[in-house]
Amino acid sequence: MKVTSPATYRRSISAKEIPFALPSILENGKHPVFILKPPDIPEFLKLFKALNIELNIPTEEDLAKNTIDEIKDRMQKQLEEINILENLDVIVDTMVINCVVRPKVVRSNPKKDELAVSEIVFEDKMAIFEKIWSLSPLSKEEESKRKSFQQ
């Protein structure tokens, strides 16, 4: 088995940027396309912070006693305890801001080449969020891929 070179690994990781056509239609009759990235630990930490959730960060002892899947399950349970409807706007906006690569999406005061999250229409924002969540390591689809790979 050949070891992957750092250059190949970097190219592969950056290739995780995914073009995504939005449901809305522009004046030219085409769908807008945004570039998304799958959420990873930093994005989830930002989400937890936005929701004022104190995350139980795993200690070295915790990591020694529990598998990564057990720790992810604990994170998943913390997310499940959130009142989704009550916090939907915070959850969606935070994930959109942190997982849309291009165009850059910001919370407020966008520069000329940026979009404020409030400028994205609801239908597009929800489509982006659904796609991001489907790419999440916490999604059921990604979990089943991981488990089949591990077997």
3-state secondary structure of 30: coil
pLDDT over 50 (residue 139): yes
CB 18 within 8 A of CB 135: yes
pLDDT over 60 (residue 13): yes
Closest to 91 in 3D by CA, of 99, 67, 101, 116 = 99
What does each C-alpha distance from 133 to 3, 11, 79 come to in angstroms? Answer: 31, 23, 13
Per residue in 31-62, pLDDT (tens digit) is 999 999 988 877 877 888 888 877 666 667 76
CB 101 within 8 A of CB 36: yes
Calpha distance 108→117 (Å, rounded): 7
**What's the mean pLDDT in 16-43?**
90
Q: Tell me the pTM.
A: 0.70
Per residue in 85-96, pLDDT (tens digit) is 788 899 999 999
**What's the mean pLDDT in 70-97?**
82
CB 63 within 8 A of CB 49: no
The pLDDT mean for the chain works out to 82
Calpha distance 117→100 (Å, rounded): 10
